[in-house]
């Protein structure tokens, strides 16, 4: 069976990805900063008969990424799924449209969002590219957001989050071009406004629905679709 690696697997969409892929018989490599503190993830692991492999990993720690990649040397990874992401402490769920307004920038948090949302996927992709190249699917995907679309921005605000995810999109576009010669498919994905800790309990898209749609999109990615921006329902988004 194929193998998927999911970062940020301890809660939210990451946890749902682990649940759904494991239920379909995939081998799941699940990472989180503290997987032992996620009771749901631990329960899934126990019920999965060895299909879920848990690894502690802080994605902003580049030394930890290098050590993690060394432990996975020779393991094919069909789908490298960068799920980890952050809005910092000023989130839509907490402050709504008042979060991250002009004149109220928190630059230390801005820096952290760039390290999690943009630099971590780049570093982990570079560290594990040989694992992806050795697989059958050869896919690298990352959860982005429609808020990263420059053309689609009609509301303003959310400077740190928008810019860090737009940077992620730019990284993945270049990665798609650079890795095309190795037949590796790369794409950013928008999960919809999902009811998670970041999106808030009142968001219209349930995590189960979002992840089911995203998995269909990932399964349908081809070399022709590489380097393009896709929504969980299969719609292509503009940059």
pLDDT in tens, 140-164: 999 999 999 999 988 888 899 999 9
Rounded to an integer, the average pLDDT of 106-131 is: 95
Q: What tokens were used for 201?
A: 């309990």
Does the structure show a pLDDT above 90 at 49? no
Instruction: Give the whole-angstrom CA distance, residue 221 versus residue 218.
Output: 5
Q: What is the pTM of this model?
A: 0.93
Does the structure show a pLDDT above 80 at 58? yes
Report pLDDT digits (tens) over 150-201: 999 888 888 999 999 999 999 999 999 999 999 999 999 999 776 566 655 6
Supply the range of the domain harboring residue 211.
3-237
Q: Are 198 and 91 in contact, with CB atoms under 8 Å apart?
A: yes
What is the structure's pLDDT at 203?
Answer: 61
CA distances from 82 to 94, 108, 168, 189, 227 (A): 24, 23, 11, 10, 15
- Number of domains into which the chain is organized: 1
Kindly report the CATH number assigned to the domain that includes residue 174.
3.40.50.720
SS3 1: coil
Q: Which of 237, 202, 193 has the alpha carbon at shortest distance from 217?
A: 237
What is the structure's pLDDT at 157?
Answer: 84
Q: What tokens were used for 69?
A: 């990649």
What is the structure's pLDDT at 198?
Answer: 61
């Amino acid at each position: 069976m194929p193998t998927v690696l999911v970062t940020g697997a301890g809660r939210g969409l990451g946890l749902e990805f682990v649940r759904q892929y494991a239920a379909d018989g995939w081998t799941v490599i699940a990472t989180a900063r503290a997987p032992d503190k996620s009771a749901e993830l631990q329960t899934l692991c126990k019920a999965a008969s060895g299909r879920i492999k848990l690894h502690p990993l802080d994605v902003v720690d580049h030394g930890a990424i290098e050590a993690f990649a060394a432990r996975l040397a020779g393991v094919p990874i069909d789908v490298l799924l960068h799920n980890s992401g952050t809005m910092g402490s000023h989130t839509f769920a907490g402050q709504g449209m008042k979060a991250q307004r002009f004149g109220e920038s928190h630059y230390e948090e801005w820096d952290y969002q760039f390290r999690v949302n943009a630099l971590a996927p780049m570093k982990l992709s570079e560290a594990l590219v040989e694992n992806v190249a050795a697989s059958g699917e050869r896919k690298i995907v990352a959860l982005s957001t429609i808020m990263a679309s420059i053309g689609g921005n009609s509301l303003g605000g959310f400077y740190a989050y928008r810019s860090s995810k737009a940077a992620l999109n730019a990284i993945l576009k270049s990665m798609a071009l650079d890795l095309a010669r190795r037949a590796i498919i790369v794409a950013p994905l928008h999960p919809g406004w999902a009811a998670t800790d970041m999106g808030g309990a009142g968001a219209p898209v349930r995590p189960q629905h979002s992840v089911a749609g995203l998995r269909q999109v990932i399964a349908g990615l081809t070399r022709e679709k590489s380097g393009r921006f896709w929504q969980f329902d299969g719609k292509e988004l503009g940059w």
